[in-house]
């Protein structure tokens, strides 16, 4: 057992070096401010970790049943949120631990990017669904191009935010300036915010142009098809709005600095990050896109074939028999 470990157990946190403060699990010291600006609430951390854990299980089950693996991005995003909030719960007792601080900062900043990726895929699937029915004029961009453009910006945002979060948390533990890492994180969030905002504009543009189609049955004659798509469109709008508001909050929060008002008051983080992301992911548990839109189910040639008279009805013998009757 090392001397530093014994000192960390016997001396108050403010009498230890920065390195010793960042290791292990030290009790809160009124003379030393934690990096959070407050003591993370244990109950809130546990509640959000459980909520996101249940959301994760549900998304894994739904994705596995429908075998639409791209929607596993929702599960990945939920796992990240679960781990991040579990780390915040652990930080209640280990408020000075650098590893926990870095983990929750980095993972909670990038996890929403995976949820955004799932939303981008929904629009791609809707466009493919409509194009197979002969409607090609709803969007100025094709389904594949949507994925290439927005997923690329999503990956760029993840990399930038991850690098910035790592630099900021490392500088914070070494008692150095966190400004460079913070600015990098803000840049990543702004990229995600702009990307999601542009997507929302194109999404609303597409929905507006497809509004007549959403009110009518599909070519297969399924009267519920239009209602299902309207519900999916509404839920996707809600989920995307939650992410945009969350991204705007995080950009303003980090822009104020690590001692700013928003970042040092946990209630805003709980409501404008945790709650919004929970609602965004939960919405797709209730209305999972794999159950509501599947382009492979819709084949116009097959649908038209089912509407044609059968070969037997065109047989002369059958027609004569009907005439004699």
Higher pLDDT pick, 284 / 178 = 284
Q: How distant is the alpha carbon of residue 43 from its chain centre?
A: 23
Count the neighbouring beta carbons within 10 Å of the beta carbon of residue 320: 10
pLDDT computed for residue 320 by the predictor? 37
Q: Is 134 left (phi over 0), alpha (psi -120 to 50) or beta?
A: left
pLDDT in tens, 124-141: 888 887 777 666 667 778
Domains and CATH numbers, the chain: 29-294 (1.20.1070.10)
Q: How far apart are the first and last CA of the chain?
A: 102
Q: Vertex 85, ends 115 and 103: CA angle to 5°?
A: 90
Is the pLDDT at 294 greater than 80? The verdict is: no
Least confident piece of the model among 65-79, 81-95, 205-219: 205-219
Is-above-0.85 flag for pTM? no
Residue-averaged pLDDT of the chain: 80
Count the neighbouring beta carbons within 10 Å of the beta carbon of residue 305: 9
Higher pLDDT pick, 74 / 177 = 74
Higher pLDDT pick, 5 / 159 = 159
SS3 readout for 140-154 = CCCHHHHHHHHHHHH
Long-range contacts of 49-58 (CB under 8 A, 24+ apart): 49/82, 49/85, 49/86, 49/89, 51/278, 52/78, 52/79, 52/81, 52/82, 52/85, 52/277, 52/278, 52/281, 53/78, 53/82, 55/81, 55/82, 55/278, 55/281, 55/282, 55/285, 56/82, 58/285
Is the pLDDT at 67 greater than 50? The verdict is: yes
Count the neighbouring beta carbons within 10 Å of the beta carbon of residue 150: 23
pLDDT computed for residue 217 by the predictor? 54
Least confident piece of the model among 25-29, 104-108, 193-197, 255-259: 25-29
Is-contact 191 162, C-beta < 8 A?
Answer: no
> How far is the C-alpha of 218 from the C-alpha of 226, rounded, in Å?
7
pLDDT computed for residue 22 by the predictor? 57
pLDDT in tens, 240-261: 999 999 999 999 999 998 889 9
Residues 6+ apart with CB under 8 A from 91: 36, 40, 45, 97, 100, 101, 104
pLDDT computed for residue 218 by the predictor? 52
């Amino acid at each position: 057992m090392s001397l530093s470990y014994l000192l960390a157990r016997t001396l108050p946190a403010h009498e230890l070096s920065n390195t010793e403060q960042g290791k292990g699990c030290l009790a809160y010291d009124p003379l030393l401010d934690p990096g959070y600006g407050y003591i993370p609430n244990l109950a809130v951390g546990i509640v959000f970790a459980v909520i996101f854990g249940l959301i994760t299980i549900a998304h894994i089950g739904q994705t596995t049943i429908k075998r639409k693996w791209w929607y596993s991005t929702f599960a990945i995003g939920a796992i990240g949120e679960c781990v991040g909030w579990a780390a915040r719960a652990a930080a209640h007792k280990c408020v000075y631990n650098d590893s926990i601080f870095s983990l929750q900062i980095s993972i909670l900043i990038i996890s929403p990017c995976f949820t955004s990726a799932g939303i981008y895929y929904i629009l791609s699937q809707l466009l493919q669904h409509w194009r197979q029915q002969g409607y090609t004029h709803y969007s100025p961009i094709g389904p594949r191009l949507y994925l290439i453009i927005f997923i690329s910006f999503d990956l760029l945002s993840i990399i930038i935010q991850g690098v910035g979060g790592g630099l900021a948390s490392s500088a914070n533990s070494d008692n150095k300036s966190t400004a460079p890492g913070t600015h990098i994180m803000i840049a990543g969030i702004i990229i995600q915010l702009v990307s999601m905002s542009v997507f929302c504009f194109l999404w609303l543009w597409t929905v507006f142009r497809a509004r007549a189609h959403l009110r009518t049955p599909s070519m297969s004659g399924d009267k519920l098809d239009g209602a299902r798509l309207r519900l999916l469109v509404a839920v996707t709008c809600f989920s995307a709005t939650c992410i945009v508001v969350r991204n705007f909050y995080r950009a303003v929060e980090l822009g104020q600095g690590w001692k700013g008002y928003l970042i040092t008051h946990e209630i805003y983080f709980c409501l404008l990050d945790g709650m919004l992301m929970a609602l965004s992911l939960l919405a797709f548990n209730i209305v999972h896109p794999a159950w509501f839109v599947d382009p492979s189910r819709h084949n116009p040639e097959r649908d038209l074939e089912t509407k044609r008279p059968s070969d037997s009805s065109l047989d002369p013998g059958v027609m004569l028999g009907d005439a004699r009757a």
